[in-house]
Structure 1
Amino acid sequence: MNTDTIFALSSGAGRAGVAVIRLSGPMAGATLCALLGRDTLPKARHAVYAPIRDPKTDERLDDAVAIYFAGPASFTGEDVVELHVHGGRAVIDGVLECLAVQPGLRIAEPGEYTRRAFENGKMDLTAAEGIADLIDCETAAQRRQAVRQMAGELGALYEDWRARLMKALAYIEADIDFPDEDLPGGIVPVVRGDLASVYAEIGKHLADNRRGERLREGFQIVILGAPNAGKSSLLNRLAQRDAAIVSEIAGTTRDMIEVHLDLGGFPVTMVDTAGLRESRDVIESEGVRRATARAEDADLRLVVVDRNDWPDIDAEAARLIDGNTILLVNKVDGADGTGSLCDDVPTLWSGTSAAGMALELPVLPISAMTGQGVESLLQLLETRVKEGLDFAGPVPLTRLRHRKALEGASDHLDRGLQTDIAELAAEDVRLAVREIGKITGRVDVEDLLDIIFGDFCIGK
């Protein structure tokens, strides 16, 4: 039970028309009465426009809109007060300084409002994480996923699995505790169908190609190629700004340069890498090593080939080619300055991956310098990103924490399904229930709370 009252600026810092300062806890109502200079609280959930004054000095701090939310019908489940003040820095500082000296009040820690909401049963951990994602989202697709999670879709899915496993566990434990009432052959074969159904659903949920996690973090596209193929120029063209230094000197790009884009509402991280070649330069060699490692983990690779080198592909880049690769033949605007696209570049490339798999990859002629062909590239990228991240149906996995817990639950269920011994099956089902409970917060997860809510901003 929290006995202290917390306060913080809950809107963005900086100059604004309106700023929101939130209080939560047992002293919230009394503090509001002191600021308004009245003995009774305003009606709950009704906005009151009035001057707010420092209770000690009677200095008028601002004219504000105040709203009182009586617990438990509030965001945190406690008494909550919102002060909507003018968004000037001096006004905000004045109100916060006044609150800091009021008895029983202290500044909120990061994520403390949402943590209190969780602890007071207003939401589960997945919904709390959805709020954090909603605050951090940068694209429409991220917003849609965060809203669904915040609304409880993910938590409801996990709670359904948990409830079904609890029911099966109850039957198994009843069979153990009351053997005289046992069915012929034991209860385990009877509930095996229910356990197998949950096991299959968890497996399908896990086999999502990490779409939810990738949507949170951004679709990773790495640009590869030999030095001076035009990788940095392409990055600048896609970013519509000079994000990377462009030079005719080979090896100019030594480290990875990232640009964050919004393609069709989906988040994309575009990465320019060092030219792939052997070098005696220690720094450039390290850049090549990092480029290779980043490319191996990428969702999509853009291999840039100079038109003068086509159809020869740099050996280091060729080693990284697989089905998630697009070949780009750059500098097709022509040395004569006519700007005509070359007609000797095929639309498809047939070859073999380093793993020996036959491949047929799209080939696009482009000019990173003039922008020719780049619009077609963007359309293709948008299609690939949407295919990789768009997810119809139940809200997908969004965090590695969820995945690890569900993998653990799946392992326990797999083992439980292999035995007819009730005691062993019960223990495996119990462990599976616990793993799912870790995700929603239905078990003792105190060690997880500081990590989860520590990523929130102060005021939320």
Structure 2
Amino acid sequence: MEKVGSTPPTIFALSSGSPPAGIAVIRISGSRAHEAGRLLAGNLPAARMAVVREIRNPVSSELLDEALVLRFDGPASATGEDVVELHCHGGRAVVDAVVEALCRVPGLREAVPGEFTRRAFENGRVDLTEAEGLADLLEAETQSQRRAALAVVEGGLRKQIAEWQDRLLALSAMAERAIDYDDNDEAVDPMLTDGCRLLAADLATWLDQPRVEPLKQGLRVVVAGPPNAGKSSLINALAGEDRAIVASVPGTTRDVIEVPLSLDGVPIVLTDTAGLRESSDPVETIGIAKAEQMLAAADVLLWLGDPNLAPDHKRKILVASKSDLAPVEPPIGLPVSTHTGQGLDRLKMEVLKLARALLPGEDAVALNRRQASLLARAHNSLREAGEQRDLPILAEDLRDARAAFQQITGQSGVENVLDQLFGRFCLGK
């Protein structure tokens, strides 16, 4: 870390994907970015204009590439600092030569992962919620994850918290004014407590909404039932490949098998479990115990077997497996055949219907665990303030709610989470 009060070094890194690629974007940010750009590319264009320039080694003047050069002036840049971007040809040799040339410029060093975004945060270009959303966006593997992350990156949560903060500041001002000027310190204006309760109710609505973690980690869809019920075959059919061992011998699956996949853009983790039965085999017994643990943790349960023996679960789908071998009229559960494909599409639709109810809505802003914990703290403080009859204590409750909001956005008290967050970013972001 740089010393307090010192000018941070100018940093550079390849900000696009690893070569080879059509274009490689090399970003330079800091007080010496424009100087470094001129050393390699000559005269820089006007701010936010693009020009084609020869890129030369500042020591030997060797021609390295012909690139598109862009200049940005701080604070109106992605990082809040002076920035230069070199859009070079994306071959490894070109990238290596330009990066090596930048290493020779005094006062420059290569950036560490997440350093560009960290500078944007420290310079007020993004708040902590937007930085967290960007980290999620970079890690997104499904369309649902991308949409949820983008809603946060675009400032959805920041704007909502700003509106809550404005209302909270008005309540705090009312409380402080009453403490300073009202003759009767014990009387609390009903408008003040009503305002606290209304704001607490708004926060409670957000706290009741689905979190982002199931979207990031995948909803756990557990396939369970007795031995030889067709669980492993169903896992393979839903996954579209052989991931679980299929055999006619009972008790083949002895451990939990997890298969992450995207089902129509929804991330799920298909979980195969050991057949549930009484067993004297110590290894199979361990597998059955793990299966029972998975049943308890399942977001959605697919039960293959006697419906009367199915465990209680809020989101359970009864599956009449092997329907091509022993059809039952009328079928008890959804008829499915992994051999003919009967019922598989309908089963996927039923899983998706249950899964989507547990996930944030389309383009909705979803809280992560850290944000929800702090929002719950603000909610509790406001709820207590709404019931308070002692003005000084009420004012202190409002101060605590304000502190919780500031920690959500990164305005204070977040030093312990910054290294962990920005360490998730790739080099050059």
TM-score between the two structures when normalised by the length of structure 1: 0.86
In the other structure, the counterpart of 1:271 is: 271
SS of corresponding position for 2:268: strand
Which residue of structure 2 aligns with residue 200 of structure 1?
Answer: 201
Letter in 2 for 1:151: E
Matched, 1:416 2:416: no
Residue in 2 aligned with 1:345? 331
The answer to whether the 8 Å contact 1:188/1:420 transfers is no
Residue 268 (structure 1) shift: 1.9
Q: Which one of 322, 325, 344 corresponds to residue 316 of structure 2?
A: 325
Does the 8 A contact of 2:378 with 2:404 survive in 1?
A: yes
1:282 Cα deviation after fit: 4.4
Deviation at 1:366, TM superposition (A): 0.8
Alpha-carbon offset, residue 26 of structure 1 = 0.9
Q: Which residue of 2 aligns with 1:125?
A: 128
Asked if the contact 2:196–2:383 (Cα under 8 Å) also holds between the matched residues in 1, the reply is no
Whole-Å separation in 1 of the counterparts to 2:363 and 2:19: 40
For residue 446 of structure 1, report the CA deviation from its aligned partner: 1.7
Going from structure 1 to structure 2, the CA distance change for 1:425 and 1:234 (only over 3 Å counts) comes to same
Match of 2:11 among 6, 11, 15: 6
User: Contact 1:175 / 1:186 at 8 angstroms: preserved in 2?
Assistant: no
Distance 1:454 1:33 in 2: 31
Q: In the alignment, does 2:44 pair up with 1:41?
A: yes
Q: How does 1:10-409 map to 2 (within 5 A)?
A: 10-36=15-41, 38=42, 40-180=43-183, 186-208=187-209, 210-305=210-305, 310=306, 313=309, 318-319=310-311, 321-334=312-325, 341-346=327-332, 363-391=333-361, 395-397=365-367, 399-409=368-378
Deviations 1:243-267 (A, max 9, x none): 2222223333233222233233322
Q: Kindly provide the amino acid, as one letter, of the partner of residue 165 in structure 2.
A: R
8 A Cα contact 1:211 1:390, kept in partner: yes
Report how far residue 213 of structure 1 moved: 3.1
Question: Cα offset for 1:59?
Answer: 2.5
* Aligned alpha-carbon RMSD (Å): 2.2
- TM superposition shift of 1:154: 0.9
Relative to structure 1, is the Cα distance of residues 421 and 311 closer, same or farther in structure 2, using a 3 angstrom cutoff?
closer
Cα shift at 1:132: 1.3
Distance in 2 between the 1:283 and 1:60 partners? 67
Cα displacement (A) at 1:119? 1.0
Comparing 265-274 with 432-441, greater Cα deviation is found at 265-274
Q: 1:244 to 1:15 in 2, by over 3 A?
A: farther
Distance 1:27 1:279 in 2: 71
Query: What is the distance in 2 between the residues matched to 1:142 and 1:446?
Result: 27
Contact in 1 for aligned 2:186/2:391 (Cα 8 Å): no
Per-residue deviation, 1:31 = 0.9
What does the per-residue CA deviation read over 1:138-188, in whole Å, with 9 as the maximum and x for residues that have no partner?
Answer: 2222222222111111111112112211221122122223345x6x86345
Q: How far 1:290 moved relative to its partner?
A: 2.8
Q: What does residue range 413-452 of structure 1 map to in structure 2 within 5 Å? A: 413-452=382-421
Aligned CA distance change for structure 1 residues 112 and 291 (closer, same or farther; 3 Å): farther
Range with bigger deviation, 276-285 or 446-455: 276-285
**How far apart in 2 are the matches of 1:187 and 1:440?**
30
| Identity between Structure 1 and Structure 2 (%) | 44
Amino acid at match of 1:197: L
Relative distance call for 1:198 and 1:379 in structure 2 (3 A) is: same
Tell me the amino acid that sits aligned with residue 189 of structure 1: P
C-alpha offsets along residues 110-137 of structure 1, whole Å, 9 cap, x if unaligned?
A: 2111111111111111111111122122
Moved more, 57-66 or 383-392: 383-392
Gaps in structure 1 of 5+ consecutive residues: 336-340, 347-362
C-alpha distance in 1 between matches for 2:73 and 2:161:
31
Task: Report the Cα offset of residue 202 of structure 1.
Answer: 0.8
Question: Which structure 2 segments of 5+ residues have no match?
Answer: none
SS of residue in 2 equivalent to 1:245: coil
- Aligned-partner Cα distance in 2 for 1:31–1:67: 13
Residue 80 of structure 1: CA displacement?
1.1
SS in 2 for 1:288: helix
Distance 1:404 1:196 in 2: 19
Distance in 1 between the 2:295 and 2:307 partners?
A: 21
Quote the offset at 1:426 in angstroms.
Answer: 0.9
User: How far did 1:283 drift?
Assistant: 4.1
Measure how far apart 1:417 and its partner are: 2.1
Whole-angstrom distance in 2 between the partners of 1:193 and 1:265: 43
Structure 1 CA distance, aligned partners of 2:422 and 2:376? 23
How many angstroms apart in 2 are the aligned matches of 1:260 and 1:31? 45
In the alignment, is the contact (CA less than 8 A) between 1:189 and 1:420 conserved in 2? no
Aligned twin of 1:358 = none
1:390 shift after superposition = 4.9
